[in-house]
Amino acid sequence: MIERLAYLWPEIALFIATCVVMVMGLSRTYATRKATATIAALGTFSAAVLSFLTTPDGGEIEAVSGQLYLASMVPYAKTLIGAVATLLLLTMAGTVDRAEEADIAKGVRSFDPLRSNRAEFYAFFLFSITGLMLCADADDLIWLFLALELTSLPTYIMVAMSTARNRGREAGVKYFFLGAMGAAVFLYGFALIYGAVGSTNLNEIAVAFATGGISSLGMLGVLLSILGICFKIAAVPMHFYTPDVYEGAAPQVSGFLAFVPKTAGFLSILLICGAVGWNYVIPPDGVSPLATVMPSAEGTQLPEVLRLTLWVIAALTMTVGNVLALLQTSVKRMLAYSSIAHSGYMLVGVIVGPGIAADSFSGNGVAAVLFYLLSYGVMNAGVFAVLAALERAPGRDGEPREIETISDLKGLCRSHPMLGWPMVICCLSLLGLPPLLGFFGKLPLFTAAIRAGEIPLVLVLGVNSAIAACYYLKLAFAPLTEVADDADGDPIVAAPFRTRAAAAVISAACVIGLALGGNLLMQGARSAASYTEADAIKSRVPQANAAPVDRNVAAH
């Protein structure tokens, strides 16, 4: 256990930062309170650096954690989480307590620790990131469940407290109840897996699946787990909350929601699918896909029933997300639906798995998912940062309002070039236009799926990219080509938080820069996605190959 701690340094750093932030936020001095954001940023940044530096590479992780497959995913995932979290934190400045602090500064009111939320907000942010990193570490279903809940619980509160309006609270409540239902579903799935295998340890589950096949009970458990986790990644059929919650929350928190729970969900799905293994063959005719499935050395895909489920979920998620996004006029609702669609794209990578050509980036679906998570995190942070950095000037009611429709973005490149151009660049990147990062995120999904022979899925992906172009085009070119019509309402101004604009600019720079110099990151993703299940299990369990022989013969 003590070795285990050694590679939890990033989480430990985050936890220390959390504690410091919580205490400092109660200080009477404004400067100290203000420093909480900096401390939080230091926490996430140092967590990213620690993940990069202190996590041992594949073999050693295995030694300390007992993690068998996808072991090298941990440092890559945690580094990317830390980096994107730092970016997201930049957008969070002034989310809560803005009016409060203004009043205190004016001397209207004195500081009251009971009324201040700032420290809690940053603490919840950090807790959520800690949970996300723990998801990557998970080697046990209990651990995974706790990590997922640690990721999600703070987000419910963040949504509710992010705006002073009732909409935020409504969104928070909706998110909480549906989230609880999702959690119940995957917890039930975990329980069924435990019932089928007799262990909650993912490695033992993997070995049991590899040696004894997957029973119907086990498969049901896996399917339910994935269905429940679909809530986290906002995939059909658990996507209904997404537009309402994104719309209700402050834009920066919506941006947070689009990355953090989604990443947690994808890491969990990868871990669970990894335990099942991507080394199955299509079952021969006459065998129910629900019956016991055995892995084979030659196979390169998930068990048929799981593959089919994910296939349907992926296709539906892409299509539903994109088609409904077409109909939106509210920017946040549109981005919410598009974030559903992006989950669908990434599911393609999950279906493909490490693929036949696991050692190459172009054929490895897991690597493609990991790289896409990074690209999506960056582009998404950029778009939401721009939304967060803009607001309608306070009208008669004296409170600034967030911008809502696409027409609010018109002419942004002229009025606020430092916000308008990042918007254009990030949206074009989300659209998947070359040579921006989004294109190079989508290309590996494309290549991996084609190499795995999933041609129909690739066509669905391609058609969906085209549909996505319709609405991203509106979003991308409203700032650039349209002229602002100031007729209605109060003028759009930049929010008085420089870090939000900075986050937008940094994201846009990354969208271009990482596309041009992305080879190193792709290398990282590729080695992170090296899937070692087969070897590890074979070496540990000598009889692993003995059982499935008959079925192999039948399969061929």
Partner 1 sequence: MILFSLILIPLLFAALLALAPAAQARSLAFLGMLTSSAAAVLAMLRFDWNNGAVFANEKTFPWLGELGIQLSVGADSVSMLMIALTALLGPICVVASRTAVTERHRTFFGWLLVLQAAMYGVFIARDLILFYICFEFTLVPMFVLINVFGSTNRKHASVKFFLYTFTGSVIALAGLVYVAKFNAELPVSATRESLAAMMQAGGTPAPGPGVWTFDIETLGRAARRMSSTEQAWVLLALMVGFAVKVPLFPVHTWLPLAHTEAPTAGSVILAGVLLKLGTYGIFRFAIPFVPAAFAEYAPLIAQLCIVGILYGGLICWVQTDVKKLVAYSSVAHLGFCVLGLAATNATGLSGSILYMINHGLSTGALFLCIGMVYERYHTRSMKELGGLAAKMPVWSTFMIFFTMASVGLPGLNGFVSEFMCLLAAFQASSAWGSSTTMVEGAMDAGLWGSAGASTVGATHGGLGPWYAAIAGIGMIVAAMYLLLMVGRVVWGPLVEPHGHGGHGGHGGHGGHGGHGHDAHGAAAGDHHDDHADAHGPLPADLTAREIGVLAPLAILCVVLGVYPKPLLATLEGPVNQTVQLIDSARSMGLQLEAPAHTTSPAQGGAPTQGLAQ
CB of 478 to partner 1, least distance (A): 11
Task: Read off the amino acid at residue 131.
Answer: G
What are the distances in angstroms from CA 438 to CA 161, 322, 345, 463? 32, 16, 12, 16
Q: Which residue has the tokens 């602002």?
A: 484
CA nearest neighbour of 9 among 78, 86, 88: 78
Question: Could you give the CA distance from residue 338 to residue 99 in angstroms, rounded to a whole number?
Answer: 32
DSSP state of 390: E
Question: Could you give the CA distance from residue 433 to residue 377 in angstroms, rounded to a whole number?
Answer: 17
- Given the complex with partner 1, which of 443 and 555 has the nearer CB atom? 443
CA nearest neighbour of 419 among 353, 497, 319: 497
- Given the complex with partner 1, which of 6 and 470 has the nearer CB atom? 470
CB of 60 to partner 1, least distance (A): 24
| Span from 123-131, 186-194, 389-397, 515-523 in contact with partner 1 (CB under 8 A) | 515-523
Q: What token pair was written down for 494?
A: 């930049």
Task: Read off the amino acid at residue 229.
Answer: I
Indicate which single residue of 125, 440, 497, 531 sits in contact with partner 1 (rule: CB under 8 A). 440
Question: Could you give the CA distance from residue 244 to residue 224 in angstroms, rounded to a whole number?
Answer: 25
Task: Indicate whether 514 belongs to the interface with partner 1 (CB under 8 A).
Answer: no
Q: Which residue has the tokens 């973005």?
A: 409
- Given the complex with partner 1, which of 269 and 436 has the nearer CB atom? 436
Indicate which single residue of 446, 504, 510, 531 sits in contact with partner 1 (rule: CB under 8 A). 446
CB of 432 to partner 1, least distance (A): 8
Task: Indicate whether 523 belongs to the interface with partner 1 (CB under 8 A).
Answer: yes
Binding to partner 1 in span 451-470, by CB under 8 A? 451, 455, 458-459, 462-463, 465-466, 469-470
- Given the complex with partner 1, which of 442 and 551 has the nearer CB atom? 442
CB of 455 to partner 1, least distance (A): 8
Indicate which single residue of 215, 322, 429, 447 sits in contact with partner 1 (rule: CB under 8 A). 447
- Given the complex with partner 1, which of 40 and 505 has the nearer CB atom? 505
Would you give the end-to-end CA distance of the chain in angstroms? Answer: 45
Task: Indicate whether 473 belongs to the interface with partner 1 (CB under 8 A).
Answer: yes
CB of 328 to partner 1, least distance (A): 16
- CB 503, CB 90: distance < 8 Å: yes
Task: Indicate whether 435 belongs to the interface with partner 1 (CB under 8 A).
Answer: yes
Burial class for 107, CB neighbours closer than 10 Å (0-12, 13-18, 19+): exposed
- CB 364, CB 529: distance < 8 Å: yes
CB of 226 to partner 1, least distance (A): 27
- CB 75, CB 33: distance < 8 Å: no
Task: Indicate whether 19 belongs to the interface with partner 1 (CB under 8 A).
Answer: no
| Span from 206-214, 312-320, 360-368, 535-543 in contact with partner 1 (CB under 8 A) | 360-368
CB of 405 to partner 1, least distance (A): 17
Question: Could you give the CA distance from residue 135 to residue 173 in angstroms, rounded to a whole number?
Answer: 24
395 to 434: interface string for partner 1, x by CB under 8 A: ---------------------------------x----xx
- What are the residue ranges of helices labelled H in 327-435? 331-352, 365-389, 412-415, 417-431
Q: Which residue has the tokens 């991203």?
A: 472
Helix %, strand %, coil % for the chain, to 5? 75, 5, 25
- Given the complex with partner 1, which of 201 and 447 has the nearer CB atom? 447
Binding to partner 1 in span 201-240, by CB under 8 A? none
- Given the complex with partner 1, which of 308 and 463 has the nearer CB atom? 463
Polymer length of the chain:
556
CB of 390 to partner 1, least distance (A): 21
Indicate which single residue of 519, 535, 540, 549 sits in contact with partner 1 (rule: CB under 8 A). 519
Q: Please give the size of the binding site for partner 1, defined by CB under 8 A.
A: 35
Burial class for 487, CB neighbours closer than 10 Å (0-12, 13-18, 19+): exposed
- Given the complex with partner 1, which of 90 and 318 has the nearer CB atom? 318
Question: Could you give the CA distance from residue 269 to residue 238 in angstroms, rounded to a whole number?
Answer: 15
- Given the complex with partner 1, which of 450 and 541 has the nearer CB atom? 450
CB of 367 to partner 1, least distance (A): 9
Q: Which residue has the tokens 């582009």?
A: 379
Binding to partner 1 in span 474-493, by CB under 8 A? 477, 480-481
Binding to partner 1 in span 294-323, by CB under 8 A? none
DSSP 19-79: HHHHHHTT-SSHHHHHHHHHHHHHHHHHHHHHHHHHS--HHHHHHHH---SSTTHHHHHHH
Indicate the helix (H) or strand (E) that contains 493. strand 492-494
- Given the complex with partner 1, which of 124 and 439 has the nearer CB atom? 439
CB of 271 to partner 1, least distance (A): 24
Task: Indicate whether 444 belongs to the interface with partner 1 (CB under 8 A).
Answer: yes
Binding to partner 1 in span 76-95, by CB under 8 A? none
Task: Indicate whether 58 belongs to the interface with partner 1 (CB under 8 A).
Answer: no
Task: Read off the amino acid at residue 50.
Answer: L
Task: Indicate whether 241 belongs to the interface with partner 1 (CB under 8 A).
Answer: no
- Given the complex with partner 1, which of 2 and 483 has the nearer CB atom? 483
Indicate which single residue of 439, 497, 504, 507 sits in contact with partner 1 (rule: CB under 8 A). 439
Question: Exposed e or buried b for every residue in 174-187, given b needs 16+ CB within 10 A?
Answer: bbbebbeebbebbb
DSSP state of 358: T
- CB 283, CB 304: distance < 8 Å: yes
Indicate which single residue of 363, 377, 400, 420 sits in contact with partner 1 (rule: CB under 8 A). 363
Task: Indicate whether 522 belongs to the interface with partner 1 (CB under 8 A).
Answer: yes
Residues contributing to the site for partner 1 (CB under 8 A): 357, 360-363, 428, 433-435, 439-440, 443-444, 446-447, 450-451, 455, 458-459, 462-463, 465-466, 469-470, 473, 477, 480-481, 518-519, 522-523, 526
